[in-house]
Amino acid sequence: MRKRTFTCGFDAALAVVGGKWKILILWALHCEGPLRFGALRRAVDGISERVLINQLKEMEASQLVHREEFPQVPPKVEYSLTAFGTSLLDVLMPLGEWGTANMERIASLGAGGAGAGGREEGPRPTAPSPR
């Protein structure tokens, strides 16, 4: 497999965190610690099972999350943040704080609608609060 060449740091960062779900998955694992698949799906409101499976596979390949299988019946698998995933979340925290501070303004612009990649219904995950 050929190594990808990035044009800048943003390009490299977006290669591992692109899409709307990965940041929410990172946040859920940060807030709640290691989670089994079902609990993670409940923690990330609105995500489908298929999308969560795909996102977790990509995040495991990118070394953002660790998948641990326990040898028992019934099978048990837990997902947790890696140090690499935690380091990414650390730099995303200011983005979440900005979103929290500007949530009403963004909502009034219509930028939070489904057409812009946001969700129109249901509870929203709690963004990080300012430190």
Give the distance from CA 82 to its chain's centroid.
13
Of the chain, the percentage scoring pLDDT greater than 90 comes to: 65
Q: Between 45 and 120, whose confidence is greater? A: 45
Q: Which pLDDT value is given to residue 122?
A: 45
Give the distance from CA 103 to its chain's centroid.
18
Closest by CA to 129, choosing from 98, 104, 84, 91, is 98
Give the distance from CA 72 to its chain's centroid.
28
Q: Which pLDDT value is given to residue 129?
A: 52
Judged on CB neighbours under 10 Å (0-12, 13-18, 19+), 7 is exposed
Q: Which pLDDT value is given to residue 116?
A: 46
pLDDT in tens, 88-119: 999 999 999 999 999 999 999 976 554 444 54
Q: Which two tokens stand for residue 7?
A: 């044009």
pLDDT in tens, 52-68: 999 999 999 999 999 99
